């Protein structure tokens, strides 16, 4: 079992920055691919970013490329999502997730999920 705790959300003005964290406990963190997903009110959950177990490979949805950066610190059992130049449409609950084999953009393929952290971008 892996337990994931998301944090770092909050209220920020458009153009601002936030850094989300996802702390993992349980099985060795370093073997898991990690992903970030988000769900806005009235919308389906969508993929945001993913990172391989060793951090060498990353992937982003087009709408956040150049603005968001996913990273991980396996020594600290933590994955991060640095979000810059935030837009109103980035408002959502953000969830991290862990995948035992590889990583990817499908939420249902992930084995463990955090509880979510709210990000609200205001004008």
Token representation of residue 74? 């396996």
Question: How far is the C-alpha of 39 from the C-alpha of 91, rounded, in Å?
Answer: 8
pLDDT digits 0-9 by tens, 9-33? 999 999 999 999 999 998 777 789 9
pLDDT digits 0-9 by tens, 59-110? 999 999 999 999 999 999 999 999 999 999 999 999 999 999 888 999 999 9
pLDDT digits 0-9 by tens, 27-58? 777 789 999 999 999 999 999 999 999 999 99
Question: How far is the C-alpha of 43 from the C-alpha of 59, rounded, in Å?
Answer: 22
Q: What is the pLDDT of residue 27?
A: 76
| Exposed / middle / buried, residue 42 (Cβ in 10 Å: 0-12, 13-18, 19+) | exposed
| Exposed / middle / buried, residue 104 (Cβ in 10 Å: 0-12, 13-18, 19+) | middle
Q: What is the pLDDT of residue 90?
A: 98
In degrees, rounded to 5, the angle at the alpha carbon of residue 106 between the alpha carbons of residues 88 and 101 is 130
């Amino acid at each position: 079992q892996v337990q994931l705790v998301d944090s770092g959300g909050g209220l920020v003005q458009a153009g601002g920055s936030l850094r989300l964290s996802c702390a993992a406990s349980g099985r060795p963190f370093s073997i898991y691919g990690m992903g970030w997903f988000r769900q806005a009110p009235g919308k389906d959950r969508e993929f945001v970013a993913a990172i391989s177990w060793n951090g060498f490979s990353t992937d982003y949805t087009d709408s956040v490329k150049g603005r968001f950066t996913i990273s991980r610190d396996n020594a600290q059992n933590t994955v991060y999502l640095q979000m810059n130049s935030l837009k109103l449409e980035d408002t959502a609950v953000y969830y991290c997730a862990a995948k035992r084999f590889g990583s990817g953009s499908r939420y249902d393929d992930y084995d463990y999920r955090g509880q979510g952290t709210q990000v609200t971008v205001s004008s």
